[in-house]
Structure 1
Amino acid sequence: MKYIIAIIGLLVVIGLAALASSNRRKIKYKPIITMIIIQLVLSYLLLNTKFGLVVVKGIANVFGRLLEYAGEGISFVFGGLANEGEAPFFITVLLPIVFISVLIGIFQHFKILPVVMRGIGFVLSKVNGMGKLESYNAVASAVIGQSEVFITVKKQLGQLPPHRMYTLCASAMSTVSMSIVGAYMTMIKPEYVVTALVLNLFGGFIIASIINPYTVDENEDMLVVQEGDKQSFFEMLGEYILDGFKVAIVVAAMLIGFVALIAAINNVFDLIFGITFQQILGYIFAPFAFIMGIPISELVTAGGIMATKLVTNEFVAMIQLTELEHVLSERTLGIISVFLVSFANFSSIGIISGAVKGLHEKQGNTVARFGLKLLFGATLVSVLTSIIVSIIL
């Protein structure tokens, strides 16, 4: 039965993407089918084989050790602040972002990451049928972040037509940056985080190639990565330390605002209608939860978590998931976990358009105009990833 639901789910996702397509006649289904098969194979390898277990354990151990190192610095500054037996979310989950940001900066400084990102991007371009620039951007977004990635391609921004800008922004919204992967692993199982990271990379191209099909001329696909101003090693360290801290503060501020707002809205709806706002959203998103393979008895609960991620952010939804994990099946936890690992939410529209506008005002306005279409596509990527995983679980 789960295979039938998964096939229906795939058809629904592809159908919804086709409805929003700018040119259905140009859709190339061969690379789409190829990438779906690759997603299935990778999902099986990561979740159902000893090789996948070793890979996931290895990645989890690396991030676990990094979090331990980060904990040394955090303990030095904030030691004794928390009450015994308590672990403040900001200190244990968000502040380690600072240390991981520093490591990314070091790998960037010594030209290791750019080589890796270009290499993977080149290989991806041979599979997805899209340009080298788009492929590089997808990999770079997953490494350095959805807003920072545009700095590395700012030379090309003014020359890109709207359809190519859409693909670049869709990749940025469908992935998550490595600097916060460790934070995710403290809330959901590492195997689901790793699987979602890999599948979303291909899912972004699948949905973008349906919603926004085009062919890139080889002569127009020159990948020139913008290098930042030459910095000394310690200048770079200071910059990435501050950048990581800014990310932690911004996420913390958003969590305070969104969690408080949801609590207030839920209370108002409960007083007036006898049902919370999240429960209403749960019913609205239940059909999507169904095609993702969620058991019928858990559809509304899962739908509510999905909706929370869309209207707030993935951190708020992950917190909600951890609070409800005792009432959800392992299958539902796995499917919802991979759904949450992306930046597909309303606030990302502002983040991405603002980042682009800071580099090129006209293109920033272009991104803002297709913002809702961008969110629609990125949400379909998350649904697609969940459907693929539902076949394996």
Structure 2
Amino acid sequence: MNILIALLGLAVVFGLAFVASNGRKKIRYRPLIVMVVLQALLAFLLLNTVVGTTLIGIFSKTFETLLEYAYEGIGFVFGGILAEGRAAIFFLNVLMPIVFISALIGILQYIRVLPFIIRYIGLVLSKINGMGKLESYNAVASAVLGQSEVFISVKKQIGLLPKHRLYTLCASAMSTVSMSIVGAYMGLIPPKYVVTALVLNLFGGFIIASIINPYKVEPEEDILEVQEEEKQSFFEMLGEYIMDGFKVAIIVAAMLIGFVALIAMLNGIFATIFGISFQEMLGYVFSPFAFIMGIPWNEAVTAGGIMATKLMTNEFAAMVSLQSLIEAGTLSERTIGIVSVFLVSFANFSSIGIIAGAVKGLHEKQGNVVARFGLKLLYGATLVSMLSAIIVGLFI
């Protein structure tokens, strides 16, 4: 039964992507089939084999260790607050470690380890996905640097890109997540699903973009020019990345305060007027999509509400809701896995403004172009999340 539902889900996702395609006759199906098969193989490897379990264990343990180091710094600044109830203080436990992880990313950038890894993984991916080197580089870089910072590394080419290539770059940025906040995600949802989503979304972004926005990059256009960061001393760089990490933590905290409070208010208003909360109403709207992703029908409304929360606000607000349900033991492992994978991306309305603003800061005209296809960008990124969740549902 799960296989039949997964096939239905794949048909719906590909159908929705095909309907929105701006060049249906240009779609190349061979790379698509290869990437879907790769997604399935990787999901099976990560979730159902000893090798995959070991790899996820190593990845999770690495982040656990890094978080423990982060807590040393947090504890020094905030004294006994952290020790009194680490799990109870979201800002300290989940958001403040972003500062430390951001510093580590800065160090790896400075010693040229990350640029080397990103560039050559991107080159390998370009052989698989049939797209250009720039698109492949950007997808990997987005998963490390973040959805706004990644455009700085390719700013030399931003102004030269046609609309269709710019869409693919922005789609990759919205479909992935920044490595600096992966540790924060692992504090809210099961780490194995975070790792799996990171891998699947990388291919999923290419799959959906290849349907919605198909094109072929000519050899003379297939040039990758990465902007080198301005030469800084080690401690200048370190201070910059630490402050960037702190800004991210504060911004996420502010957005959560606002969004969670607004949702609570809407829940109260809807419950008073209609006898049903705002999230429950959205849950019913999104429940069919939850069902075709493989979630049992008796949990589809609850899962649909969490999915809608992510889309309307951000992934953190949705993960907080999911975490409370996990702790209450009200969801099955299957639903937890599928919803968790769906949540690991930047596919929400606020990301349209973030990405358009980042591009506009580098090239005003191209920023306006991004703003115009913003809703289509979100549409595609949401389909990427659904595709990854459906694939995972086959192996839970």
TM-score scaled by length of structure 2: 0.98
Secondary structure of 1:99's aligned partner: helix
How is 1:1-393 mapped onto 2 (pairs within 5 angstroms)? 1-81=1-81, 84-85=84-85, 87-325=88-326, 326-393=329-396
Distance 1:119 1:337 in 2: 29
Contact 2:74 2:82 in 1 (8 A): no
Distance 1:85 1:172 in 2: 35
Deviations 1:229-256 (A, max 9, x none): 1000000000000000000000000000
Deviations 1:59-89 (A, max 9, x none): 0010001000000000000022358346310
Deviations 1:303-352 (A, max 9, x none): 00000000000000000001112110000000000000000000000000
> C-alpha root-mean-square deviation of aligned residues, in Å?
0.8
Unaligned runs of 5+ in 1: none
Secondary structure of 1:327's aligned partner: coil
Paired residue type of 1:42 = L
Paired residue type of 2:390 = I
Paired residue type of 2:344 = V
Displacement of 1:107 after TM fit?
A: 0.6
Contact 2:175 2:385 in 1 (8 A): yes
Distance 1:21 1:81 in 2: 52
Paired residue type of 2:394 = I
Distance 2:347 2:208 in 1: 13
Deviations 1:99-140 (A, max 9, x none): 000000001001110110010000000000100000000000
Deviations 1:278-318 (A, max 9, x none): 11110110111011000010010000000000000000000
Distance 1:221 1:265 in 2: 49
Paired residue type of 2:341 = V
Paired residue type of 1:144 = L
Deviations 1:15-50 (A, max 9, x none): 000000001000111110100000000000000000
Distance 1:62 1:291 in 2: 34
Distance 1:324 1:110 in 2: 42
Deviations 1:160-204 (A, max 9, x none): 001000000000000001000000001111110000000000000
Report sequence identity in percent: 71
Displacement of 1:219 after TM fit?
A: 0.8
Unaligned runs of 5+ in 2: none
Contact 2:176 2:198 in 1 (8 A): yes
Distance 1:85 1:135 in 2: 43
Aligned residue pairs total 393
Distance 1:237 1:93 in 2: 21
Measured at CA, do residues 235 and 131 of structure 1 come closer, stay the same or move farther in structure 2, by a change above 3 Å? same
Distance 2:362 2:133 in 1: 21
Secondary structure of 2:80's aligned partner: coil
Distance 2:247 2:141 in 1: 20
Secondary structure of 1:166's aligned partner: helix
Distance 1:29 1:10 in 2: 15
Paired residue type of 1:8 = L
Distance 2:85 2:188 in 1: 18
Contact 2:82 2:92 in 1 (8 A): no
Distance 1:220 1:114 in 2: 22
Distance 1:323 1:64 in 2: 21
Distance 1:371 1:276 in 2: 29
Distance 1:68 1:328 in 2: 29
Secondary structure of 1:168's aligned partner: helix
Distance 1:104 1:82 in 2: 24
